[in-house]
Structure 1
Amino acid sequence: MGSAIICLSLIFGFVTGLCICSAVSDVEDAAETANWIHKDDGQNLQLVLPHDVSPDTDNVALAGHSKGGKVAFALALGHAHTHLKFKALIGLDPVEGSNTSNRIEPKILNYIPQDFNLAMPVALIGTGLGDDSCCGCVPPVAPWGCNHPFFFDECKPPSCYFVARDFGHLDMVDDWLVRLAGMFICKTGKGSKDDMRRACGGIFVAFLKAYMFHNADDLTAIIDSPNSVAPIKLDPVLWLQS
């Protein structure tokens, strides 16, 4: 019987998410989902998995994109109670709010280096175009001061940081309706979106292999030679181990 590593992924509507003043209910919903997974040692989750796959509730990762990235950090930081213990955290272009004076509750960023009290390894994947405005008239959806470098700056080691320099905030999304909407409010890159998705997926897998299965070969290869390993340009690439 196969054993499945669990990754609780949080994806929330980026348009509505950045137009409201609170993500508290989203954090509470995420905690409720985590507790549902944890109940009876994963038996709830087992009911919706293939019969030959068994969930491993001792190896659970938390991940989120955009507002969902902020929610993932909030849950990991204890803004809602969960019995499930997380072993790793991944933020995919997380966003704190529409600007530094209009940050969504619960406020996560304190703008103090390595201030996050996280007892787990963290990976941050950011986009180079996320903090650019669209057509010069629509504000950026991942604005400077509320975006990925500020999340990474508050992470303690071990932590990894990758920036997809030539891609935008929604360029990894494999949903034509979201991409269509994003064309009017997000700056998008000219590179292959399939390559962007492959790069993000590869980083996810390499990071989780390193910190859940003690095999850092793939992560080391990406860190040491990003231009020859990754299908897109990653710059900067950082790995703080201690």
Structure 2
Amino acid sequence: MLRQRRRGVSRRRHRLPVLPDKVEPDFTNLALAGHSKGGQTAFALALGFAETSLKFSCVIGIDPVAGLSICDQLKPKILSYIPRSFGLKIPIAVIGTGLGSKWKGILPPFAPNGVNHAEFFLESKPPCCYFLAKDYGHADMLDDWMIKLTSWVCKSGEGDKELMRRGVAGIVVAFMRAFLQGDSEDLNAIVKTPGVAPIQLDPVIFVEA
């Protein structure tokens, strides 16, 4: 039985997608991204709250969260509530969710107002982009099993979660193509015509440098 299970695991692992051969990282075009508290960590690292020899070319926050409330921020505290106060000269993209700040019955939101995507964008210097997936929740871009698990405690949208994943991924790719490869066609299309995205984005804001 154990041998069969191991063989099954081996076969499943073998089917996982892998990078093509001879792929090498380009550390001159390094993007930094994170979701939820990981978004706060990404911004904190870009802002220099931890020592690193890496230089980042852009930062992306996917429904970033900086704590439980304005008075209870995660450490390091990066929000100052002063517009355009982040000391970053690199492009920034913030993707928020409309339901992330909503209560789930008696349970508090995972991305409460005052420490969520809106404040991260407010404190970002140009060039910066903001996209709000208004009909989706804080965890709706995760794998289905994780969405089912978190839906007990976190407000979730009724829309197709695969469309949410595609929408978020498309924004991330378009943003990186624009600022890491100099190809702004896809990003401009999303900004000018948000309806091209598979999910409703409202608002979409692009503040150029």
TM-score by length of 1: 0.77
CA contact (8 A) 2:144 2:161 kept: no
What's the Cα RMSD here?
A: 1.2
**Alignment of structure 1 residues 121-136 onto 2, 5 Å:** 121-135=91-105
Q: Which residue of 1 aligns with 2:13?
A: none
Match of 1:158 among 127, 131, 134: 127
Identity %: 54
**C-alpha separation in 1, matches of 2:201 and 2:19:** 35
Match of 1:237 among 199, 204, 209: 204
Are 2:70 and 1:103 equivalent residues in the alignment? no
Gaps of 5+ in 2: 1-17
TM-score by length of 2: 0.89
Q: Which residue of 2 aligns with 1:205?
A: 173
Gaps of 5+ in 1: 1-47
State the one-letter code of the partner of 2:199.
Answer: I
**Alignment of structure 1 residues 1-242 onto 2, 5 Å:** 50-135=20-105, 137-176=106-145, 178-227=146-195, 229-242=196-209
State the one-letter code of the partner of 1:150.
Answer: E
**C-alpha separation in 2, matches of 1:127 and 1:216:** 24
What's the CA shift for 1:50? 5.0
Q: Which structure: greater strand fraction?
A: 1
CA contact (8 A) 2:82 2:123 kept: yes
Deviations 1:31-67, CA, capped at 9 Å, x for gaps: xxxxxxxxxxxxxxxxx96542111111110000000
Deviations 1:186-232, CA, capped at 9 Å, x for gaps: 100000100000000000010000001111000000000001x1001
Which portions of structure 1, spanning 4 or more consecutive aligned residues, are displaced by more than 2 angstroms? 48-51
Which of structures 1 and 2 has the bigger CA Rg?
2
State the one-letter code of the partner of 2:200.
Answer: K
